[in-house]
Amino acid sequence: MKLQNITLKSFSCGIAACPAIYKTENDSFVIIGKNLSKKVSDAQLKGKIGVDEIAIEIPAGLLSDLNK
């Protein structure tokens, strides 16, 4: 899979542990953020995360500023 980093420069930190957005060649996105799957209570996400999925948290500006 080819990935194109489209993360805003204001969110790039120069090391590997930063929130990021990548566009794929398959008309989809790969988003890197904090894994919440084990931190959020079962009541909030129960039945909403598939066996091959995780819940992630990213700063709001990572998405809201992307199309400006």
* Statement: residue 1 has pLDDT above 80: yes
| Residue 40 pLDDT | 65
Q: What is the DSSP letter of 30?
A: E
Going from N- to C-terminal start, the domains of the chain cover: 3-64
* pTM beyond 0.75: no
Rounded Cα distance between 35 and 56, Å, is 5
* Statement: residue 61 has pLDDT above 80: yes
Rounded Cα distance between 2 and 55, Å, is 23
| pLDDT tens digits along 45-55 | 778 888 898 88
| pLDDT tens digits along 10-57 | 887 777 678 889 999 999 999 999 887 776 666 777 788 888 988 888
| Residue 35 pLDDT | 85
Query: What is the sign of the dihedral through the CA atoms of 37, 19, 53 and 46?
Result: positive
Are the beta carbons of 20 and 6 closer than 8 angstroms?
A: no
